[in-house]
Chains A and B, each alone.
Chain A
């Protein structure tokens, strides 16, 4: 939405509303019908207040005026009837407000759960293409406005609309002539509320934008606060902040002004309507035109008075409903994103190998894994997992226009340590994205122990690959929980062992709560190096057949790194390891080093071979080239 747009109703809005209603009718059909009945009953009761008064006065009170011993029995009877209606109304209100809570919260929970479940199924591409902020905002802002709409706006609008309709019918029945006047005034009210609502909506949109600007600025400056201090840059930051803050003030003040003058404006148009009706009705009744009597006039004016209130409420809720539906549309858009497809049928199983090399499946962990390959004729064959990974003429691009990898052919034999070197954007990380099928190869193929990886079930493929990524991510929970993430049923002993192997044990024990130290907001309290050690421990406890280290030790000093490396080498003895690193000391002892440049392998060989070659690797190694 740009600056001058205001929230508007489109075809999609209606579609979204229908889909949203679908959640209600799907899970709460009975309850919802009951709620509608209750709201109807409740409105009848509230309308009775203005309808019955005149009726009571004219029918039961006025006739008694002047009597010596007035008999109130009839009045009591009428009041008893009214009381019953009221009581039913109260009970109905009680029922529907309580039921609406369960329905509203239930629908929200369903939507939230479905949203999260669907998000987990989305391919990595979705996360790469959408900013974290915009995904988050689906769960926070959009769901929040939805909650408010379901809880407050919908019952209120239903109730108000019913009141308007019933009152309007009553007015038409009393005097069609005067109702013409009312209709004109209603149209006037609609125009005014639209105008004010439009202005208000426009400023609300602008306020959202200004708020986003302030938030962005604050986020950037809060995370750069230390740099600001070092450069004595506080004054400049303050000035810039003041400028953005002033803009936000301006739009917020305007948006809220328009929103809060809606009430007085509509209310006083109602008052004018009252005067006009009184004058016109008075004239008509004096002149005796249109059969307007005194009693009709008096009741009619009562209705005119009670007419504006619900009108105002609908007008006030309108904007928030439109905004909420816009949010719901964004949520549904995410839920409609194509999930990650998985046609794989080859699965990974624990296995046992007898003397003849015969492989049998077993339940417990043996350190031997096998690919279980079901065939069309119903037979099943097992292939031992060895970690033999081969790329054949592989090409790939994230977008069709830009190919990142060109005709890559390479192999990693079981037990080999394979390293990738190259500048930023050379395609190193892309290779790992393809091995574990975060993205799918467009041209060529990857074979894993001779099986095309497209045939392997994604979950099993990924389970067979341990990955330590460049950006370490930790979860809220204890350090213990975080390491256990690699293998949910790991014993404490296994966790300690993994931590020792990753050289993390030492610093963990130095923490006040040791392994029970709680980590919050992505482990902010730890240094980058410590976080990487934890990520390595997490991978180590998973004890994977194949390991991919993507800049996993970039923030660890070289001494610690060499200790960690020795541990990992021990763990991965006989298994395949892929290493991506910037620092050449990390990869020096690899069996094969691939130098990548613009998506092509330009050199390959062991460290010694490449040094002898005096090519790019040599230049990098001797510091004559920069890796950027």
Chain B
């Protein structure tokens, strides 16, 4: 594992250290107890010495109590250490992601981040718990047992000494051989799950195109590969048990041979031979466990790699030194702005944009799918950094602001917007935690949401479900606008945020903007001409460039694209939709 990962242990260092300590103590007792048992058999029972049996028995019971205490402690510390470590890792990843810029977020898909925060961490947690317990237990067990055998019979001990590395080597070899197969299995497993996921999500498409058999054939192919890979990997691991047993049985026969002779020659007690065999057994068991833990760690390695990918991602955007903390006004200037999602040298999404918006103006942006309307406004709250030129808000380059200050003053309603689980009050208060009920209601009135909210049986306390799927598209959009308004921003950006709202309500929202927040700069991206028609300035975007700027009247005269869109929508003398 990586040092970076160990940094997340933090306050669970104590448990992480105490767990192995108690494991070692427990092992110590486990080695001593058979010795005590041997004494009871050899001296007590053989000698028919009842008081001795009782005396030793009492000691053994006390030892068992102590062993129990150590065992419970060890188990508890290991569990807490592992669960705590997992908690901290989850915490670190989640916090890290909160620091991500949009560009960082684009690097990872949502499901992959979710997997990292859940399944991958669970794998690491299991591996960590096993490591803390077993990786100390096994070697200590081996060493102590070996010492005990040495004190009883050197010859047998030497045999064991040779055997341990040989067997360990074989077991490790098996684990190493199996590992790449397991990696492949888990990759293929992802493919399988992905295929199921797609079929569940797209059940309607599969049925509509009558592709059930096609999908079943595809699935059989994948599940066949999983079967092949899994059996191959597991058949390698299946060598483990017979190898172990073979060694174990050989050891016993050899020991009886060597030990038998020693006993006959009077160099060894009968009880001692029994003990030696017990110790040999625990050595072999420990070896088995070590390889098992190694396999687990190897499997968890894929998970740790994925976790590290997130943890070592460098947050691409940071607050500058001496960050400006307040935005003087809502003016916006684009000066020779180039922008590419891939950074320097990438294909340009925006080319040489020059644009000046005065504080308090209403600006409409119109253009086809892929004309970079969203890319343009994304630069204003610095969701992405420009590749060339500069964007200024209130006359100051956006890169000089503290990010939080800038985004508090530049409020944006995203095209693909989401509400979160919680009441309407809670959702709107995202804009301002400390807003009073009256303030929340006021922004909802501005966004024309107050009416339908009051029609809900529970009004503002209505619970929104995940993703906001229990309100209609138009209602969701208005709630999102209200949420953005609550920030009392200097700049408000609506990225196609009223598309599901009818034109009348849309007009009311714009009227409220005009009358209630006249000083806020309003930028409205829309597909509907009526949404931008009365703006102070309309920008027509085409292929990442500004194709035309002006009022609706001016553009109708001199801009072909605008005229075409206008005519296709406003034909017949009345508004569309």
Contacts and interface: CB of A to CB of B under 8 A. Distances in A.
A176 B129 CA distance: 42
Contacts of B45: 278, 281-282, 285, 294, 297-298, 301
Main secondary structure, interface of B, reads helix
B80 A257 contact: yes
Interface string B56-90: 01001101110110111011101110111011001
B199 interface: yes
B84 A253 contact: yes
Interface in B328-371: 367-370
Given A82-B253, A558-B527, A628-B473, A275 B98 contact: no
12 contacts: A49-B248, A61-B260, A89-B249, A112-B192, A136-B197, A260-B79, A263-B75, A265-B71, A278-B40, A424-B473, A527-B369, A623-B503
A520 B190 CA distance: 12
B204 interface: yes
A360 to B, nearest CB: 24
Given A116-B216, A132-B197, A558 B467 contact: no
Interface in A81-98: 82-83, 86-87, 89-91, 93-94, 97-98
B431 interface: yes
Contacts of B90: 214, 241, 245, 248
A625 interface: yes
Interface in B372-430: 381, 383, 403-404, 407-408, 411-412, 414, 416-418, 420-421, 430
Interface residues of B, number: 163
Best-buried of B61, B74, B79, B195 by chain A (most CB within 10 Å): B79
Contact of A226 (B54, B95, B105, B411): B105
Interface in B427-472: 430-431, 433, 466-467, 472
B200 A132 contact: yes
Contact of B577 (A89, A106, A621): A621
**Ranked 3 nearest A-B pairs via Cβ:** A264-B71, A623-B503, A260-B75
Interface in B171-222: 192-212, 214-216, 219-220
Contact of B82 (A124, A256, A624): A256
Interface in A223-267: 223-234, 236-238, 241-242, 245-246, 248-249, 252-257, 259-261, 263-265, 267
B370 A283 contact: no
B153 interface: no
Nearest to A273: B64
Contact of A222 (B33, B64, B76, B110): B110
Contacts of A214: 90, 117-118
B419 to A, nearest CB: 8
Nearest to A49: B252
A287 to B, nearest CB: 9
Contacts of B507: 623
Contacts of A79: 253, 256-257
B241 interface: yes
A93 B97 CA distance: 49
Given A279-B54, A438-B204, A265 B264 contact: no
B270 A624 contact: no
A278 B48 contact: no
B516 interface: no
A626 B252 CA distance: 86
Contact of B224 (A100, A109, A223, A231): A109
Nearest to B66: A268
Given A136-B196, A228-B98, 7 more contacts: A45-B245, A61-B264, A116-B196, A218-B94, A221-B420, A229-B102, A282-B45
Contacts, number: 429
A529 B369 contact: yes
A569 interface: no
B533 to A, nearest CB: 13
B573 to A, nearest CB: 10
Interface in A386-402: none
A62 interface: yes
B193 A140 contact: yes
B7 interface: no
B421 to A, nearest CB: 6
Given A101-B238, A105-B230, A621-B577, A253 B80 contact: yes
B264 A64 contact: yes
B277 interface: yes
A289 interface: no
A259 B75 CA distance: 8
A628 B86 contact: no
Contacts of B48: 282, 285-286, 294
Contacts of A13: none
Nearest to B244: A93
Nearest to B93: A218
B210 A459 contact: yes
A241 to B, nearest CB: 5
Given A260-B133, A469-B208, A584 B249 contact: no
Contacts of A585: 568-569, 576-577
Contacts of A582: 473, 500
Interface stretch (A3-11, A166-174, A460-468, A591-599): A460-468
A61 B214 contact: no
A485 interface: yes
Nearest to A265: B68
A61 B238 contact: no
B492 to A, nearest CB: 12
B118 A215 contact: yes
Nearest to A82: B253
Interface string B246-268: 10110011001100110110100
Contacts of A248: 87, 90
B44 A105 contact: no
Contacts of A476: 194-195, 198
A238 B530 CA distance: 41
B102 A226 contact: yes
A82 B199 CA distance: 57
A265 B69 CA distance: 9
Interface in A555-596: 556-560, 562, 582-585
B253 A86 contact: yes
Contact of B227 (A90, A105, A274, A556): A105
